[in-house]
Chain A
């Protein structure tokens, strides 16, 4: 198992979210939802919120934000929900990929195997 590292943070996850562990099934966020900041960070803001607003100046996916913050995706979603409720970020789903034809995908697969 992991051992306490010298760069752990003293914050526990439940203090970051106020005890919430997730946003439920009706959350507008999933792993690839793109998030865009709608405002600049303001002083006194929770540091994770400020970090998200700084990260999401350009459209950024939820999973990227979670990776940058080094937080579990569920926790990140809670933070994003808070920000969205405050109107500080907006979310949109990524455009569907242009290639949806199974044939093309199969060809890609074959090509990859031949590499």
Chain B
């Protein structure tokens, strides 16, 4: 059998030649020797046979040598291959080992790195936590600090506002007292020059009082003075006019008889004064400001029209917002533009509604609605007050200057205001006084009954004269007397009980005397 051989490993035929030659020589020698030694008879065949055998032998030897060589080469190759395989196996094992080691190394490395990462992450986390904790602490401290600061600021703000309001209230009181003083002086000094100066001072003081009122309103302090009785619309408008510098330019067109309830009168007056001041300030110095009063079902609309600047959209919106009273902060106020903010506060407090519109006069018109619940109408009740004041009849006022009684003045003014309707206005406490009068017996009054005796008649006339000087009823006179004497106690117990002693006998005496309070049928005794 022949193994697959490499061409290089197959024994080359040339290498077999010596073997073959050697075998041939040996066999030839053997054949020759044999032939020589053999009898002649067998020499021929022997030679033939021996030669053939020698040839075969040569061939066999050559073949054997060749085969042996081939086997040796194959064995060598087999060994080489086996060695190769072994080497390869070793190499494989080594590679495997290396791979395993590499893998192990990587795993170790990975684990190490993972632990490192975990560790560093842990550190980072704790550091972050510490940082966050520190920041949190800082923020907390900051928060506490700011909270404390805010509280302090709020407290200071409240204190400052209270102080400003307090000061404004005292300013108000001073201004009001000064105005009362000035009014008394105006009554006392008859010289026209002095009166002019006093009126000038009066006007200045009224404006200062309005400023104090404004500050009081903005600081939420008690606003202004309270009026104990309804104030007629005419007086409201005049009171508002009297507090602005340009009052001479204000023209009032009002036929309204309506009055504003005492508690709201000051607020309405103040709001109107601010609106009038705006209108007068923002119109040319010679232009007039017109005020119209119109009664509507919802109340009374007071419109203030100027011929000055028309407000732009932005200004208009800002003004509308200011007078709506929605803004309660004091921020954004300037010292010279308090007016609309004051109007806003007052509108909110009293339910006034203020709106703006272009005026037909070319400027801005402001409408202020005074709601119905702030208004009182002159009550059309029984015609008694005419009788009540009738003791004024017998002896009218003499030439001596009448004593100053504010209360009497205002009350008589009220009587007069009621006039156009011909019907009197109900005064405070009269209903109660009348009820008491009906129940109680009429006090013994010397005046009406004994007309015969001259002395008594004179006494009665003198009494009536006093009544004439203080027309309405002693209640208000007493009230004002008390107010002058002890003003602090005057208000609470003034009006009602003082009512009945003198007015009581009037119903009886009324028929004999003249019915009209201001008619003097007996003539003027001074003439």
Instruction: Point out residues on A near B: beta carbons under 8 Å.
Output: 1-16, 18-19, 21-24, 31-32, 34, 41, 43-44, 46-47, 50-51, 54-55, 57-61, 63-64, 66-75, 94-95, 97
Contact = CB atoms under 8 A, between A and B. Distances in A.
B410 to A, nearest CB: 4
Interface in B167-184: 176-177, 179-181, 183-184
Given A1-B181, A4-B177, A44-B255, A9 B199 contact: no
Given A2-B484, A21-B199, A8 B239 contact: no
Given A3-B487, A9-B235, A10-B227, A69 B179 contact: no
A51 to B, nearest CB: 4
Given A14-B242, A70-B410, A95-B527, 10 more contacts: A6-B227, A9-B413, A13-B183, A21-B196, A47-B232, A47-B417, A50-B417, A61-B399, A63-B401, A73-B190
B242 A15 contact: yes
Interface stretch (B73-81, B294-302, B518-526): B518-526
A67 B195 CA distance: 17
Contacts of A18: 248
Given A4-B180, A5-B180, A67 B402 contact: yes
B366 interface: no
Contact of A10 (B265, B479, B487): B265
A19 B206 contact: no
Interface in B401-446: 401-402, 404-413, 416-417, 419-420
Contacts of A73: 190
Contacts of A43: 255, 420
Nearest to A12: B242
A18 B181 CA distance: 21
Given A50-B420, A63-B397, A7 B239 contact: no
B459 interface: no
A44 B251 CA distance: 12
Residue among A2, A18, A44, A95 with the highest chain B CB neighbour number at 10 A = A2
Interface string B462-495: 0000000101000010011001100100110010
B238 A11 contact: yes
